[in-house]
């Protein structure tokens, strides 16, 4: 019993670590560790129980919560939370002091994750290529209108960020942190966790609960019935997002709470004297590591 709990905590810590960094998704790590099906089952049962509570079916809610494998879920969630609390400060410091290097690292992580997500297509065809390219182009141009990370977001935006991030977390191939970065909320949420800003953390948490309740069943349905189309759309999102991860945009600025310095422009420029070697090397290494780790995904899922 103790061994199972500790092992599950370690798995959760690995998932949490991956979701703090905009690259490998917690869903991909769950797939690698062979717990993805169990995770989806637990989330599905929990969301159904919450749905019954909303409808006023308290008895159904209690029965639904009893059906959740809590010995599987609680240590997993504890591991995820511990990783977020421990690593958020480290990454925030790196963003402050090494903006271009971190952008290069994130760029490589997303490139590697795209390769992982591509390999998750069960029956790839030309239609999926068209979907990926189309979504990527649309997002690339839409992000050109982004003014950079959001400073002092309102409560609604924090709730929405939590809902979107948790949905991304349970999908293989795309991370919750990546979604936060794409919508300009990454620095804000990271700082809230590191500085223990309870009000903002609570709003993000409420959004996460709402996101699971509203979207987990839909996401599961889409993955069951339109798996390859969903993965093609995710690939397109990652492709288009590379615009905001480019290490050398139109300047670097102070953004978000806590004066977190990170790459904030959406224009694409050459380095123009900015450091180039470290971001490029980190990007290449990050992509290689993600691809190498993903090779263990299928054997782990088979166990």
Got the DSSP string for 155-205? HHHHHHHHHHHHHHHTSTT--HHHHHHHTT-HHHHHHHHHTT-HHHHHHHH
* pLDDT for 172: 65
* pLDDT for 254: 34
Residue with tokens 């010995």: 71
DSSP state of 258: G
C-beta pairs of 152-160 under 8 Å, 24+ apart in sequence: 152/257, 153/185, 153/188, 155/203, 157/185, 158/185, 158/188, 158/189, 158/200, 158/203, 158/204, 158/207, 159/203, 159/204, 159/206, 159/207, 159/210, 160/207
pLDDT at 182 over 50: yes
What's the rounded Cα separation, in Å, for the pair 248 and 277? 12
* pTM for the model: 0.67
Count up the domains in the chain and report the number: 1
pLDDT per residue as tens digits for the range 207-252:
888 887 777 777 777 877 888 898 888 888 888 878 777 887 664 4
Averaged pLDDT, 63-76: 88
Can you give the residue range of the structural domain that contains 184? 2-302
Q: Which of 2-11, 103-112, 161-170, 174-183 has the lowest mean pLDDT?
A: 174-183
pLDDT at 189 over 70: yes
DSSP state of 153: -
pLDDT at 255 over 50: no
* pLDDT for 5: 86
More confident residue, 173 or 200: 200
């Amino acid at each position: 019993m103790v061994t199972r709990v500790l092992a599950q905590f370690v798995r959760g810590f690995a998932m949490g670590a991956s979701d703090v960094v905009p690259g490998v998704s917690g869903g991909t790590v769950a797939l690698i560790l062979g717990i993805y099906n169990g995770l989806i089952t637990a989330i599905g049962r929990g969301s159904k129980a919450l749905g019954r509570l909303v409808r006023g079916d308290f008895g159904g809610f209690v029965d639904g919560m009893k059906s959740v494998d809590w010995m599987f879920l609680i240590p997993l969630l504890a591991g995820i939370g511990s990783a977020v609390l421990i690593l958020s400060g480290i990454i925030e410091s790196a963003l402050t002091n090494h903006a271009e290097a971190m952008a290069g690292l994130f760029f490589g992580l997303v490139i590697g994750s795209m390769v992982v997500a591509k390999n998750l297509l069960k029956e790839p065809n030309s239609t999926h290529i068209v979907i990926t390219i189309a979504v990527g182009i649309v997002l690339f141009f839409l992000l050109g209108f982004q003014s950079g990370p959001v400073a002092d977001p309102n409560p609604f935006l924090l709730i929405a960020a939590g809902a979107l991030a948790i949905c991304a977390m349970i999908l293989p191939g795309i991370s919750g942190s990546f979604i936060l970065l794409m919508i300009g909320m990454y620095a804000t949420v990271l700082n809230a966790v590191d500085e223990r800003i309870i009000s903002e953390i609570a709003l993000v948490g409420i959004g996460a609960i709402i996101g699971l309740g509203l979207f987990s069943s839909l996401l599961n349905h889409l993955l069951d019935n339109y798996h390859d189309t969903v993965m093609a759309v995710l690939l397109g999102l990652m492709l288009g997002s590379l615009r905001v991860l480019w290490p050398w945009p139109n300047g670097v600025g102070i953004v978000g709470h806590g004066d977190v310095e990170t790459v904030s422009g959406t224009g694409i420029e050459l380095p123009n004297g900015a450091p180039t070697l470290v971001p490029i090397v980190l990007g290449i290494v990050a992509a290689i590591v993600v691809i190498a780790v993903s090779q263990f995904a299928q054997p782990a899922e088979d166990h």
